[in-house]
Amino acid sequence: MKQTEGKIGIREYTAIIMLSVGTKLTDDTPTVLFNSAKNSAWISLILIALLSIVPIWFLVKVFSVHQDKNLHDLNVYLFGKVLGHIISVGMLAFGFSALVLDSAIYVDIISSMYFTKTPSIAIYVVLVIVCGYGAKRGLQHIGSTAWLTLFYLKITLLFALAFAFYKGNTKLIFPLWGPGYWEIVKTAGSKMSIFADFYYLGIIAPMIDSFKSFKKGAFVAFAVVVPEILLALMIYVMLFDFTSIEVISYPFHEMILYISIGFLTNVETFFLPFWLVAAFVRFAFYFYLVLILFGAIFKIKEYEYLVPVISILVIFLGVFPKSAAFTIPGLREWMLTILSPMFFLLPCFMWLIAKVRGDFKNETSAQKN
Amino acid sequence: MKHQLKKIKLLLALPFLIILTGCWDQTGLDDQVFVIGIGMDKAEEKGKINITYLIANPEVGSSTQASANNEEAMMTVTIQASDFISMRNNANSVIAREISYDLLRVILVSEELAKEEEFIRYLYTSEKDREIKRNVHLVVTKEKAEEFFKKNSPKFLSRPHKFYENMIGRAIQVGIVPNSELHQFFRITEEDANAFLAIYATSDIEKEKNKYRISENDAVAGNVKIKGETNNSQFLGAAVFLEGKMIGKMTGVENRIVMLLNDTSDVSDILTVVPDPFDEDYQLTVRITKRQNTEVVMDVNSKPPRIHATLPLTIDVLTDPSMSNPVEDKEKIEEVKKSFERFLEEKAMKVVTKTQEEFKVEPFGWSLYARKEFKTLREYMDFDWMKTYPDMKIDVDINLRFGKFGKQPKTPSYEGIRD
Amino acid sequence: MFKLLKKISGRKKKGKSIQSNNTLDEQKNKRDQSISQNIDDNIDFIKSIYQFPDNRDVKFREFKVGGSNKRVAIIFISSITDVRTIEDSSIRPLLENKEPNLDIKGIISTQNVTIFPNMKDVVSNINTGNAVIFLEDDSNAYVFECANFQGRAVEKAENEVIIKGSKEALTEKVVVNLSLIRKRIKNEALMAESVTISERSQNEIYILYVRNLADDQLVDNIKNRLKNLDVDSIQNLALLEQYIEERRMSLFPSLLYSERPDRAAAFLEDGHVVLLMDNSPDALILPATFWSFFHTPEDHYLRFVFGNFARIIRIVAMFITIFISAIYVAVTSFHSEMIPADLLLAIAGSREKVPFPVFFEIILMEAAFELIREAGLRVPNPMGPTIGIVGALVLGQAAVEANIISPIVIIVVALSGLTSFTISDISLQFALRIIRFLFIAAAGIFGIFGMTALFVMGIFYLVSLKSFGVPFLAPMSPHYVSSGDTIFRRVITNENFRPGYLKPDDLKKKGDGATK
């Protein structure tokens, strides 16, 4: 009933987060964790989740007193004009490289696992056209699409995981502490940016119908996504063991290649479309974030016209690396490592500055509105 | 309006795009031949192997529309190649269409090649090819794989994929062969703690009479005597692989015991014979089912490490040839139970000692239980399961329970009828 | 070359349209006159407007009233009036009247007699089937209702057939339609306002809504749109639909077109607006969502479980009709590994002698099916079934035997054709049929990847559609308070909200059952 033009409700908002963070378990994010934390990657993930609550909580706290500002406005407001812009541009750079690198990985998955003979540029073009179209349509429509498809995507994912669990062996989880406590903690510290998406949510904060939805949606989505990835990480280990898990580049796809359901021996093509829908929604959202952040920083009102430019840029940069299979995952891991401390510290700083400036004194009155 | 019309025209032009682009991954079903089995044999040249394709003819036995009744249901092609992937093109010199591994069911390896150090190099190429799925079964043949394909001619299941699917599926259920998916092969080989068991098969049946085994208990493929006009190949027993290299064989019965002890297997229908404790001339037929997972207690810190495995079994006694009617008498049942337990434990221990002494590696999957005893991977690696295994002290206990005694538990006494 | 041709043809069209404009203005100006005292002038004027002797069904009856001996003229168009009424309630009483003072209103015994001082109104009344009386030495015209347009009686619904529930269908007479709807909603709050929407043919449209349910803004919005129309003539609602919809190029309809009065009534009670019109045996219901095209009234007439079962069947059918051909193309030419071995070999075996690639084979067969369908629709009635049998059986069987088509393709195409009939709304049916071809094309280029890309784009497009401000997929997304009647329906006693996206004045719908 409270639907207002251009704003999205809690359902759509939560669905977007669940899809854009949830699909991470299907790309090479698990491999990044497995590389250093081996079969105890899931313990690392629990640590990451616990650690991530801190910045997310601070972020929500800061937004509770600045409900009408988006992340860029807030950066400028809190850090001053110069530093705020630098931080926003830095965020844009990371957001854009995440879009490029992640989409390059998805294209690599599609072209190495499913369409081996199709040139990857063709796949890339289709992917970017769909996502660009979605981004141009706007947040509302991305949200609606996410919400409409969410249920079916999660159900099929659960199905795949359940069948894999049935095929796997629970004892392969042991030895519990894998490569040792220190390695686990180190992995958690350096790879905690896999939840950095939550930080970027600040960009769309004023577009959600109420602050309550923003807060509740973020935590609900977090509470769903963490167990989901956790389960997936454990099931991958149960299925492939700590030795194979390091050499497999995309465990989710290897998993759906291996499982069989009843009389259907090869079911990967059954799961493929569902995974693709999630991927399209995810990149449409990333695309949209980059667009709107770009628009906010450079004061461009009609950012829809940027879609073709960014599309071409993404394709060009994504296809550019000479051999995607080697360079892209390396770059991605590197980016995750750099982003981790930023993701942890920035919200803390924001909260601290807001506190010093005395923004929280008005908190009670702000929440009443 | 005008540019909208243009849009429509553009849309109408879209289908033509397909004619322009439509190759890439597109391959019509009628442009492919489907490989059901791949055979690997040793070649004279180093770095190469002889690869045999078993190709199904889709026109035979699949549809009434296809009218190639006089064609064979399958054919085999053998070519020397360096791996599975390059073989796809090599084979095109004799096969007219693109080769597809979509229906690949088995990979056959001759015993000769399986015993080579090099073998694993060739097999690992299969992991690179996305069409070779991880649920393909690995079968070791006594003769050359090429020969096996040629000689194997099942009477009823003339379509090869059906034959291999059903043959292997049933044999695994009964427990006379292990479940030898490639996935397990890679996992176990990479883990480097256990032995992998592959299906053992042959079409090379012993001709000389004295080579037949007296009891089917000690048989592997090739030395069971079967008369009649059935298929001339046998799937029985297991080939033991250590670090990707074949090191020995197990009989069908030994395999069954391994399968019972190993929790990962899905053997579900075991009928076997046990000596009758009341009359040594006869044997009782029993059905053995596993009640729950094997209970394994181990002490890795003692020297030598100790393993105590308890196997909970339910036994249905299906025959009573001595007609001694144990059902009626509690003491008799106790006696039967004790004798069964003793018999099975003896058998199991025999297998365990065989693995300890002959193979020096265990196929029971006990290393998985051991993992729980260690905190980190490093500790586990340092323990070196494979090295320690032959010296371990191992006990196998059978915890037996009786189920049914056939459809009709009581039999009239032998004396009663014969007087 | 083509440009030149276009230019020439374009120029011609322009020239014509300018000419025709003049006549309408002329006609309008001519009518704009007041009635004169002289009865002969009036009669001559009407005669000249109707070009009297040429226009055969315009009747003039002149006589003197019995008592006052004044001249009277009764004018009407005989083909659209009830001549009996004219005779019985005007001509006879006038002739037999013996009073010296003539009081027309007192003599004529119809429901109402209206007085007009203007020729314009007189003419438009004659056009709508009323009779006009001119009186000697009187500058007013007396008009009484006696219209009798010919039309069908109320018949059974033919396009939206249901088993359980009312069988009546709307007819071409708007009065009858109104009566059918008022029969279902006996409430003074049901409004039936009328607006004239075209200039030449003077087509009139009825806007129906329930006053204290429908959102005023919505009603105003619709009225405005109708008033803004500037057209010569709109013959019926099917044409009107295209004039007032927002996206004329869109694949999806945004107004619901139904021939069932019970359906119109049900939507009215939820706060929708219904348009009725003469010459249209249908009602136009707006705003419409995707779900209203997908539902049938029977879903609610059937009990909860049965209704939902029908819904499941229909949603499955919808997916089959869109996807099955495309999936067949994608799977056989890109993802053959997912087909079970036996089926794969069967398809490969049966395709051995077929000369075309799968994509072309499917397109060929789908096109053939569309041809059969279109031909079956257009052939004269007695031949219809024959065409169907010849088309489906003979063509299919012969094509298989001639090795042009593999038998599995026949199954696939037949299934996709058959399932498309489960959607009763013709607009949605067309949309699905066209979308099917798009998906086949996508599958032909990129397999499942292409299909999914198109699907996601389709969803993006679908959620961005709006019908009179209502999102096309509401209330599923964006979410609104409603009775949750989307893919499935709830138990009837739990459907106690009117759809929130209409912003109805009264959101809560009473619906408690007799037993709790």
Interval A282-312: pLDDT, tens: 999 999 999 989 988 888 888 778 888 889 9
| Helix/strand/coil for A210 | coil
Tell whether C338 lies on the interface with A, counting CB pairs under 8 A. Answer: yes
pLDDT of residue C264: 94
Instruction: Calculate the alpha carbon distances from B188 to A63, B251, C303 in Å.
Output: 52, 21, 57
pLDDT of residue C330: 92
pLDDT of residue B13: 62
Nearest Cα residue to A21 out of A286, A314, A276: A286
Segment C48-72 shows an average pLDDT of: 84
| CB contact (8 A) between residue A272 and residue C448 | yes
Tell whether B9 lies on the interface with C, counting CB pairs under 8 A. Answer: no
Tell whether C450 lies on the interface with B, counting CB pairs under 8 A. Answer: no
The DSSP bridge partners found for residue B37 are B54, B106
Contacts of A121 in chain B (CB under 8 A): none
- Per-residue confidence band for C445, with pLDDT thresholds at 50, 70 and 90: confident
Tell whether A12 lies on the interface with C, counting CB pairs under 8 A. Answer: yes
pLDDT of residue A276: 95
Residue of A nearest to B182 (CA): A258
Give the rounded percent of residues in chain A with a pLDDT score beyond 70.
Answer: 95
Contacts of C332 in chain B (CB under 8 A): 28-29
Q: Taking the domains of chain A in order of start, what are their residue ranges? A: 10-359
Q: Given phi > 0 = left and psi -120 to 50 = alpha, else beta, which region is C286?
A: beta
Backbone angles phi, psi at A177, to 5 degrees: -95, 15
User: Which chains touch C (3+ CB pairs under 8 A)?
Assistant: A, B
pLDDT of residue C17: 47
Please tell me the distance from the alpha carbon of residue C228 to that of residue C221, in angstroms, as a whole number: 11
Check: complex ipTM more than 0.85 = yes
| Helix/strand/coil for C32 | coil
Please tell me the distance from the alpha carbon of residue B192 to that of residue B385, in angstroms, as a whole number: 9
How many CA atoms lie less than 13 Å away from A315 in the CB half-sphere?
19
Q: Which residue has the tokens 């009187």?
A: C138
C302-345 pLDDT per residue, tens: 999 999 999 999 999 999 999 999 999 999 988 888 888 888 88
Q: Which residue has the tokens 């987060």?
A: A17
pLDDT of residue C400: 85
Residue of B nearest to A112 (CA): B130
For residue C296 the two structure tokens come to 């049938």
pLDDT of residue B229: 64
Contacts of B192 in chain A (CB under 8 A): 243
Segment C402-410 shows an average pLDDT of: 88
Domains of chain B: 30-253 (no CATH), 269-419 (3.30.300.210)
- Per-residue confidence band for C210, with pLDDT thresholds at 50, 70 and 90: very high
pTM recorded for the entire structure: 0.89
pLDDT of residue A158: 93
pLDDT of residue B126: 81
pLDDT of residue A5: 62
pLDDT of residue C435: 94
For residue A317 the two structure tokens come to 């940069």
Mutation target for B interface from A246, A257, A264, A272: give the one with most B CBs within 10 A.
A257
Which range (A147-156, A186-195, C3-12, C455-464) has the least confidence?
Answer: C3-12
Which of C373-383 are b and which e, b meaning 16 or more Cβ less than 10 Å from the residue's Cβ?
beebeeeeeee
Please tell me the distance from the alpha carbon of residue A85 to that of residue A72, in angstroms, as a whole number: 8
Instruction: Calculate the alpha carbon distances from A305 to A295, A299, A300 in Å.
Output: 10, 13, 10
Which of B124-161 are b and which e, b meaning 16 or more Cβ less than 10 Å from the residue's Cβ?
eebbeebbbbbbbbbbbbbbbbbbbbbebebeebebbb
pLDDT of residue B401: 83
In A, what residues contact B, Cβ < 8 A? 38-39, 112-113, 115-119, 122, 169, 171-172, 174-180, 240-244, 254, 257-258, 260, 265-266
Nearest Cα residue to B133 out of A242, A113, A111: A113
Asked if A37 contacts A185 with a C-beta cutoff of 8 angstroms, the reply is no
For residue C184 the two structure tokens come to 């279902």
Contacts of B161 in chain C (CB under 8 A): 341-342, 345
| CB contact (8 A) between residue B34 and residue C344 | yes
Please tell me the distance from the alpha carbon of residue C5 to that of residue C11, in angstroms, as a whole number: 10
Backbone angles phi, psi at B108, to 5 degrees: -100, 140
Q: Taking the domains of chain C in order of start, what are their residue ranges? A: 28-144, 174-288, 301-470
pLDDT in tens, chain B (419 residues): 556 666 666 666 655 655 555 567 777 787 888 899 999 888 888 888 888 998 888 877 665 554 556 677 788 888 888 888 888 888 888 888 888 888 888 999 998 888 888 888 888 888 777 788 888 899 999 888 888 888 887 777 778 888 888 888 888 888 888 888 888 888 888 888 888 899 998 887 766 655 555 555 567 777 776 666 667 788 888 899 988 888 888 888 888 888 888 877 777 778 888 888 777 778 888 888 888 888 888 888 887 888 888 888 888 888 777 777 777 778 888 888 888 888 888 888 888 888 888 888 888 888 888 888 888 888 888 888 888 888 888 888 888 888 877 777 677 776 677 66
Q: How does DSSP assign A229-284, residue by residue?
A: HHHHHHHHHHHHHHHHHHH-S-HHHHHHHH--BTTBS--HHHHHHHHHHHHHHHHH
Tell which wins on pLDDT, C238 or C99: C238
DSSP element (H, E) containing C490 = none
Number of Cβ within a 10 Å radius of residue C179? 12
The answer to whether residue C12 scores a pLDDT higher than 70 is no
Taking the CA atoms of C46, C48, C52 and C53 in sequence, report the sign of the dihedral they define.
positive
Q: How does DSSP assign B191-260, residue by residue?
A: HTSB-EEEEEEES----SGGGS-SSGGG--TT-S---SSS-S-EEEEEEEEETTEEEEEE-HHHHHHHHH
Tell whether B2 lies on the interface with C, counting CB pairs under 8 A. Answer: no
Asked if A20 contacts A285 with a C-beta cutoff of 8 angstroms, the reply is yes
Contacts of B29 in chain C (CB under 8 A): 332-333, 336, 344, 347-348, 351, 358
pLDDT of residue C16: 46
Instruction: Extract the residue ranges of chain A whose pLDDT is less than 50.
Output: 1-3, 365-369
C312, amino acid identity: I
| CB contact (8 A) between residue B375 and residue A117 | no
Asked if B176 contacts B227 with a C-beta cutoff of 8 angstroms, the reply is no
Asked if A12 contacts A140 with a C-beta cutoff of 8 angstroms, the reply is yes
The answer to whether residue C94 scores a pLDDT higher than 60 is yes
Segment C13-32 shows an average pLDDT of: 62
Pairing mode of beta strands B196-202, B137-141: parallel
pLDDT of residue A271: 93
- The whole-chain average pLDDT of chain C stands at 86
Pick the CATH number of A10-359 from 1.20.1740.10, 3.40.190.10, 3.40.50.300, 3.40.50.1220: 1.20.1740.10
Q: Which residue has the tokens 């994608």?
A: C330
DSSP element (H, E) containing B100 = strand B98-100
pLDDT of residue B12: 62
pLDDT of residue B192: 80
Please tell me the distance from the alpha carbon of residue C74 to that of residue C61, in angstroms, as a whole number: 5
Nearest Cα residue to A102 out of A140, A128, A72: A128
Residue of B nearest to A248 (CA): B127
